[in-house]
Every structure is written in C-alpha cells, then in structure tokens.
Amino acid sequence: MRTSKLALSVAIALVVAAGALLALPAKTAWKTVTPSKSQDKVKILVKDKAITYYRVNAASPIEAKLKGKVRLRVYVRCEVPSGAAGPVKYAFTTSIDGKDPVAHEATAVVSKVAKYDGAGSAVPGDPDSFYVEVPEGEHTVTVSVDKECKQ
C-alpha cells in the first residue's frame, strides 16, 4: 500500500501550520490536515501568502485524527517574544494514540520573511518541520509543548 502524504502546521506559543497544498520535493503533493482539537488558529503571512497555524501550549495540545498509512509532516514556529535578542529554545512531544511519545527540541530566531496577519506583541520564528509515520488504521496524533519559547 502506498503511503499518503499529509501536512499539519502548528504554532508553539508554538504555532503548527495547516495551509494550502504543501510540497516536498517538487513532485510530491501534500494534502493539508485540519486538527480535530486545537486552541485557536492564526494567519502568518510569508511573502504575502497567508498560512494558517494552530496555537499549541502546555495546557492545550493539538490533535489530528488520521487514517493510516500516512506520512504526516508537521510544521512548527515558535512565537518569539517581541524584542527577543538571540535564539529561543523550545521543546515539544508527539505521540500516536497517546503511546510512545517522541521528544523534539528546536531553536528559533525571529523570521525575516514571516509576520502575523494582524497586531500582536509576539513575532513568528523561522519554521521547523518533522515527520510522523502513522501506521495502518485510524489514529490520533498529538503535539504537546514541553518547554515554551523562552530565551
């Protein structure tokens, strides 16, 4: 059976993205996933193209219900405090059906090309992405924050 390709965007106070069709490499088409459970969504403008991200924090994980076998690409951006100098570290965990959590650590700097569509005191960091291999059957993928974006 062929593996489908899905993309999910997250923002970690952290923001996770779910936008238009995403592709990597150029010949691979990615379908956007809308989370089944999320706090709220924000629009981030990248070169005047709006991408929807979903906020994630320690109290509010994000969940997506998927039918496998699929490869899920998750995009994350740290919401960097306004005026932050230097890199910001953050950490989050992914799990499938609440089992076998996988820890991820990342470092973000303020993005030079992205901005929020609207006012706010935080600014988006550069994006990061990772993959979750979802096995055959129906599953829930969860992204939760372990360490908020702080210097």
pLDDT at 24: 39
pLDDT at 118: 77
Q: Which tops the pLDDT comparison, 46 or 147?
A: 46
**Could you give the angle at the alpha carbon of 65 between the alpha carbons of 42 and 116, nearest 5°?**
10
Match 């992204």 to its residue by tokens: 143
Query: pLDDT grade, residue 55 (50/70/90)?
Result: confident
- C-alpha 11: how far from chain center: 5
pLDDT at 27: 54
- Residues 143, 56 contacting (CB under 8 angstroms): yes
- Residues 17, 30 contacting (CB under 8 angstroms): no
Query: pLDDT grade, residue 97 (50/70/90)?
Result: very high
What global pTM score does this model have?
0.79
Distance CA 146, CA 117 (A): 27
**Residue % of the chain over a pLDDT of 70:** 77
Query: pLDDT grade, residue 23 (50/70/90)?
Result: very low
pLDDT at 151: 59
Residues near 2 by beta carbon (within 8 Å), at least 6 away in sequence: none
pLDDT at 2: 44
Give the residue-averaged pLDDT of 3-23.
44
Of 31-40, 59-68, 117-126, highest mean pLDDT: 59-68
pLDDT at 90: 86
Q: Which tops the pLDDT comparison, 35 or 140?
A: 140
